[in-house]
Amino acid sequence: MALSCSLIRVRPRFQAYRSYHNNNNNIWTKASRFSHFNHPHTSYSNFPPLSSFLRSCSSSLLRPLSSMTTPQHSPSTKTERVMIKGRVQGVFYRNWTVDNAKQLGLKGWVRNRRDGSVEALFSGSPDVVQEMVQRCRRGPPEAIVTGLEVFPSNDDPGTGFERKQTV
């Protein structure tokens, strides 16, 4: 069943509505009762309300590619190396860390260590890095964190967040 927008009758504002018969097949006639509400998301026009959105995004879409690929280190960027000890291997701690770090928009990496600990490097705004450190204190459901050490770092975090091989 194809619906056409041309079936909608636009009524003047505050016009008295006619009573209509119980005809449930014509939903567009009933919807036209509300056509006096002017809202961009309920518009029945042939053009989607995206033009204002595209105008607002055009400046960010036209940035040169070089500014998107080079790391942007601002003075408000904080980088910390974190050592997590306890039952943190074999409980998907690294995958959990990658998911949480990407969710927060952090850069860096996470890896297992041969001594049974997990090591991570987090880089981003100071409050987001602090939030990730707090999440690491809890870890995934199966983990039991018994110790967590945080060290300031000048290491390059890279461009995203990755899971590294065991060292």
- pLDDT of 4 > 60? The answer is no
19-37: average pLDDT: 47
pLDDT beyond 90 at 40: no
For tokens 């041309």, what's the residue?
6
pLDDT digits (tens, 9 = 90+) for 81-103: 999 999 999 999 999 999 999 99
pLDDT band at residue 156, thresholds of 50, 70 and 90?
confident
- State yes or no: pLDDT of 50 exceeds 80: no
Q: Please give the residue that has the higher pLDDT: either 148 or 75.
A: 148
- Using left for φ > 0, alpha for ψ between -120 and 50, and beta otherwise, residue 119 falls in beta
Active-site residue list:
94, 112
Topology of domain 78-163, CATH: Alpha-Beta Plaits (3.30.70)
Q: Where in the chain is the domain with CATH 3.30.70.100?
A: 78-163
Mean of pLDDT values over 19-31: 48
pLDDT at residue 75 in the model: 61
Residue type, 68: M
What is the pLDDT at residue 144? Answer: 94
What would the two tokens of residue 103 be?
């969710």
**What would the pLDDT profile of 101-153 be if each residue is shown by its tens digit?**
999 999 999 999 999 999 999 999 999 999 999 999 999 999 999 999 999 99
Under a CB-based contact definition with an 8 Å cutoff, are residues 91 and 45 in contact? no
According to DSSP H, which parts of the chain are helical? 27-31, 51-61, 65-69, 93-104, 126-138
Among candidate residues 145, 141, 144, 127, the one with its CA nearest the CA of residue 80:
127
Least confident of 44-48, 74-78, 127-131, 155-159: 44-48
Lateral strand order in the sheet of 161-163: 144-152, 78-87, 118-124, 107-112, 161-163
pLDDT digits (tens, 9 = 90+) for 53-65: 444 544 444 444 4
